[in-house]
Structure 1
Amino acid sequence: MPKRILLVEDDREISQLIESHLKQENYEVFIALDGEEAESFIDKEVFDLVLLDLMLPKINGMDVLKRIREKSVVPVMIISARGSDLDKALGLGFGADDYLSKPFSMIELTARVQAAIRRATQYVRTDHQPTEDRIHYKDLTLDINAFSVLVRGQSVPLTSKEFHILKLFLTYQSRVFTKEQIYQSVWQEDYYGNENVINVHIRRLREKIEEDPSNPQFICTIWGIGYKLGG
């Protein structure tokens, strides 16, 4: 069955170009031309990936992204002419999984789309997998099959990458991970000093699972090395 992609892009020429190319790659593409239409699709349909422009009529892309993250861990790739480091950090901070600056080639877009869907449908690549469906640590429970996390008995919505980062720490509860190891395990790509990407995701994850993100009890910083579970 073809993977389903929601393309949120108000430029009809660009949307038609992307749609045509992705259909040739055997994806099923749905197009929303503004933020309001995008939210309507999100409320009614299930997608394998969302391609999201930021500068949209009616409801801007960041607000659409927030709405998606309130109810779904579907991978979201921002495609935007706003390619500054601040825009990228904001997009990742609000829960995007990837950020592709315009103009881009269809070859790069296809590769990014394939990678994002692959990461979302596979668990973290490790040499050991938990034998149980649930992993526990203190008052935190991660359910692998349900793709869900409970913290102090409350369900906490995580993005796909946040979930996999947390799963990595819970799988190896005594291990310290460098930023390079986290990136290679979760993104499954070579690391080229993408510290800001890791920093943003760790910060957002802490904001969701820690009682006091400034004094974390779950994901702790090991200065000069990286991060580990607990103190």
Structure 2
Amino acid sequence: MFTGLVQKKGVFVKLAGDGGAAVAEIACEPWEDDPLVKGESVAVQGACLTVVGISSGGFTADVLEETLACTNLRRLRRGDPVNLERALRLSDRLGGHIVAGHVDGTGEIVAIARRGRDYAVRIRCRPEEARYIVRKGSVAIDGISLTVSDVPAADAFEVCIIPTTWQETSLGARSVGDAVNLETDILARYLEKLAAGGPSAGSGLTLDKLLGAGF
């Protein structure tokens, strides 16, 4: 589990493997006070990967075929910046929102505009993701926890990026037409399933009860 607060900006080196699963090589500065260990989870562009090798200049991680199919990792080129976040400790602050590292799919950047010091980014997404995206709600874009500032269309939403986030994450290198990894709010998905199950699911939770409680 992660929070969507990027800890380091690494550099994509290569993706080795044919057909199915692969191994990704990432270059980054080491975590000096708390070094990486084999077997731990690191979110790379928002995708939870398992570390299988460590060097002084970075690490390698296994990438499942399913991960390659639903993320933008296969589209990365050597030298591209990537967002890195290690798994959350129970004692850590939850500064962003609950991010599982299980990317739902990719969206497409359709517009980038300056708004004063900030950047407004509009992203087109599939209906599967759009249904869980609401104004002022949370969404993870390439592993970054962001607040939805607007939902101008059924298949699009906007986020506003402060200069620090723009400079210290991979978003600053993005252009119109690029694909970004999207993970919607997992709590919304659980609530939807519980509400759909209703009393038969044993919870007694219904959509009417959620609406009555202010959700």
Q: What is the TM-score of this pair, normalised by structure 1? A: 0.28
Structure with more of its chain in strand, by fraction: 2
Q: Which has the higher contact order (CA 8 A, sep 6+)?
A: 2
Q: What is the TM-score of this pair, normalised by structure 2? A: 0.29
